[in-house]
Structure 1
Amino acid sequence: MTDLSQFIGGLPKAELHLHIEGSLEPELMFALAQRNHVAIPYASVEEVRAAYDFSNLQDFLDIYYAGADVLRKRQDFHDLAMAYFTRAAADGVVHAEIMFDPQTHTDRGIAFEEVIEGLLSGMRLAETELGLTSSLILSFLRHLSEEAAFETLRAAGPWLDRITAVGLDSSEVGHPPEKFARVFAAARAQGLKITAHAGEEGPPAYVHEALDLLGVDRIDHGNRALEDPALIERLVAEGMTLTVCPLSNHKLCVVDDMADHPLDRMLALGLKVTVNSDDPAYFGGYVADNYRAVAKARGLSRNDLVTLARNSFTGSFLPPEAVAAHLERLDAYAGG
């Protein structure tokens, strides 16, 4: 595995499923709490890490939202972004499409402008200093109302030229994609790409809704599509990208053991799957850790890994010329 591990580390790749708030490491949480004079219910970094012992999506979300409370100012969001980009660049990531949850912050009284301008400044610095390009996905919180999502889309108006896509995340069960069909139609009408979490804890029917009612350009997670043969055929035929997150799936008990992860089956079926880290501070690994974990557990070959990296570029929202340049770099690395 050592040679394969090194190969993974240098493999040029894009990350398409990353919640920037989910990259808040305990050390940075403590630093920001001190800087912003925010009380947190943990006495040490170790206590925070111990609290990360959750076994389902809702328990994770509870601590995720509590941790986000230390994010108050533009500089905090800049620092959060740069901490992620530094780790991602070390993992061979050359392009990242990062999701952010403005409602997590605006509901606490933080101005939309503070959130997005902090992230944008971090993105600019990452491109200058690390050579890592990025784009923003504005994610709606699905446990909130349709009207709250519309309000967030309106608030994003002055920055729409710097937002690439809209997404849908948070508690999946009981909040089907159908709930937000009109919001996504409005977003598409304004030129934004569409993605949505579907088929993680929710049923295959949610994947169908994301395709038919939201008109998604890609699916986040999508694991439970494997329960529906006709849906598998459709996803393959349409070349729909699935942004799979192996360590997240294990941590949230979507799979009981990494040895049971279906990633290689998904590849064999012809699904256009990618590997991503989701919320790496909480799930125990950044993108290269996810590649290594699933490669070891499922015996992936170098060709499989190159296919996953290739899918990450062709499944991105980058323009064709940028995709072609990344694929050329990938081919040179794989053939070297």
Structure 2
Amino acid sequence: MATSASTDDAALAFALACPKAELHVHIEGTLEPELAFALAQRNDIDFPYASTDALRAAYDFSDLQSFLDLYYACADVLRCEADFHDLMLAYLRRAHRDGIVHAEIFFDPQTHTARGIGFETVLNGLEAGAATAQAECGISSRLILCFLRHLSEEDGFATLAQAEPYLARIHGFGLDSSERGHPPVKFERLFARCRALGKPVVAHAGEEGPPDYIYQALDLLGVSRIDHGVRASEDPALLERLAREQIALTVCPLSNVRLRVFPQMAMHTLPQLIGAGLKITLNSDDPAYFGGYLGDNIRAVQAAFGWDAKTWYGLARNSLEASFADESDKAAWIERLDRAYAELR
């Protein structure tokens, strides 16, 4: 998979430009300091940071929970439909520049309804931003409602009840927030209900949590994809199962390093996971907080591992195949990807 110095630049250029999907990005985690300050001013909010520099300095996290504390504080600037529109549009414009043709975007309604923001306000604003981006640059997107695992399953059921009138506008359900002390089994009944509604489900597992959380997500929640999943490398039987069943892992390399799952990129398990035959995709997670968007993740991974174009082609194809987009759209994007790879070769 490693490239020579003479082909490394070509492989990187292909990886950045080729059509791909992003399957693991939290829309609240795309809130850049500049937009946060603009929205705080728009909504006349007394923001706890004096400047964008002061806010960026606060990004010195020790673990996932310290990040989440800041994440929820910044989300308070999101108050009206226009705020959610602007947030979504800013992310999708950036995604388009990274060659993303389709994004499946997590949103956390509990973060907002707990502050008195209406569920419909959040949904309307995000959809409007997605529509603006599609008209402007042709990028496709879908919304995945995530439940916050540090809250109770009963709270999740209440959020699902709020969502049910809008099911046609929601394309799947997920589970995020801090893994520690909140195993997937905690939400087994909730996810059974989500599946009964005919929606695909995904879950964060195996980032901070152990490999057992991945087993629980598969066997108890019935997920179609595992978000993160990097600790699968600790369990050979699990690696074999994920490869055999071709369960996609939505890996977020810069996030993993920023949250100290791995001390540095060169120590990431990505080569092991790919070598074991797993269906790996690359994603940005919370790019405003973790050092970059998908293109930045690609550059960091290439600097660490020097992969060839064939490896990057496989990752891009995985992302398109593992998406919840219509089969006709996926086929068209894969055809574009195949053409780009053939031209490179």
* Displacement of 1:8: 2.5
In structure 2, the partner of 1:14 is 21
Instruction: Give secondary structure in 1 for the equivalent of 2:201.
Output: strand
Matches within 5 A, 1:273-292: 273-292=280-299
CA deviation vs aligned residue, 1:284-325 (integer Å, no higher than 9, x gap): 110011111111101211111111000000111112222111
CA offsets 1:204-246 (integer angstroms, 9 cap, x no match): 0000000000000000000111111111111111110000000
Confirm whether residue 220 of structure 1 aligns to residue 227 of structure 2: yes
2 CA distance for matches of 1:66 and 1:282?
Answer: 13
Query: Considering only aligned residues, what root-mean-square deviation do their CA atoms show, in Å?
Result: 0.8
User: Which residue is 2:204 aligned to?
Assistant: 197
- Measured in 1, the distance between the counterparts of 2:166 and 2:316 equals 30
Distance in structure 1 (CA, Å) of the matches to 2:122 and 2:102: 21
Q: Distance in 1 between matches of 2:119 and 2:295?
A: 31
TM-score by length of 2: 0.96
Q: Is 2:242 aligned against 1:238?
A: no
> Which secondary structure does the structure 2 equivalent of 1:70 belong to?
coil
Q: Quote the residue 1:168 is aligned against.
A: 175
The answer to whether the Cα contact below 8 Å between 1:261 and 1:294 also exists between their aligned partners in 2 is no
Does the Cα contact within 8 Å between 1:100 and 1:138 map onto a contact in 2? Answer: yes
Name the stretch that deviates more: 8-17 or 268-277.
Answer: 8-17
- In structure 2, what is the equivalent of residue 157 of structure 1? 164
Q: Is the 8 A contact 2:254 2:291 kept in 1?
A: yes
Q: Distance in 2 between matches of 1:96 and 1:279?
A: 14
> How far apart, CA to CA, are the structure 2 residues paired with 1:326 and 1:264?
26
Give the Å deviation of 1:9. Answer: 2.4
State the TM-score, normalized to the length of structure 1: 0.99
The alignment partner of 1:79 has SS state of helix
- The letter of the residue matching 1:195 is V
Residue in 1 that maps onto 2:38: 31
Which one of 128, 134, 148 corresponds to residue 135 of structure 2?
128
Partner Cα distance (1:264, 1:303) in 2: 14
**Out of 87, 91, 99, which is 2:98 matched to?**
91
Q: Which runs of 5+ in 2 are unaligned?
A: 1-7
Letter in 2 for 1:40: F
Task: Report the residue type matching 1:330 in the other structure.
Answer: L
8 Å contact 2:204–2:229 — kept in the other structure? yes
Q: Is the 8 A contact 1:14 1:94 kept in 2?
A: yes
Partner residue, 1:109: 116
The Cα of 1:53 is off from its aligned counterpart by 1.1
Kindly report structure 1 stretches of 4+ aligned residues shifted beyond 4 Å: none
SS of the residue 1:193 aligns to: coil
In the alignment, the residues of structure 2 paired with residue 267 and residue 224 of structure 1 have an alpha-carbon distance, to the nearest angstrom, of: 13
**Structure 2 counterpart of 1:249, one-letter code:** N
- Which residue identity is paired with 1:247? L
Q: Structure 2 CA distance, aligned partners of 1:272 and 1:8?
A: 17
Residue-pair matches, total: 336
Residue number among 59, 62, 65 corresponding to 1:55 in the alignment: 62
1:315 to 300, 319, 322: 322
Task: State the percentage of identical aligned residues.
Answer: 60
Aligned-pair CA distance for 1:3 = 3.5
User: What is the rounded CA distance, in whole Å, between the counterparts of 2:16 and 2:135 in structure 1?
Assistant: 21
Counterpart for residue 301 of structure 2: 294
> Residue deviations 1:114-157, cap 9 Å, x none?
00000011111111111100000000000001010001011011
- CA drift at 1:265: 1.5
The aligned amino acid for 2:180 is: V
Separation (CA, whole Å) in 1 of partners of 2:237 and 2:256: 23
> How far is the alpha carbon of 1:5 from its aligned partner?
3.5
- Amino acid of the structure 2 residue aligned with 1:42: Y
- Distance in 1 separating the partners of 2:46 and 2:212: 42
> Could you tell me whether the CA contact under 8 Å between 2:30 and 2:287 is conserved in 1?
yes
CA contact (8 A) 2:11 2:307 kept: no
Query: Relative to structure 2, which stretch is displaced further, 289-298 or 18-27?
Result: 289-298
Name the aligned partner's letter for residue 46 of structure 1.
D
Q: Take 1:240 and 1:3, find their aligned partners in 2: how far apart are those partners?
A: 29
Looking at structure 1, the residues matched to 165 and 130 of structure 2 have their Cα atoms a distance apart, in angstroms, of 18
Within 5 A, what are the aligned runs for 1:242-253?
Answer: 242-253=249-260
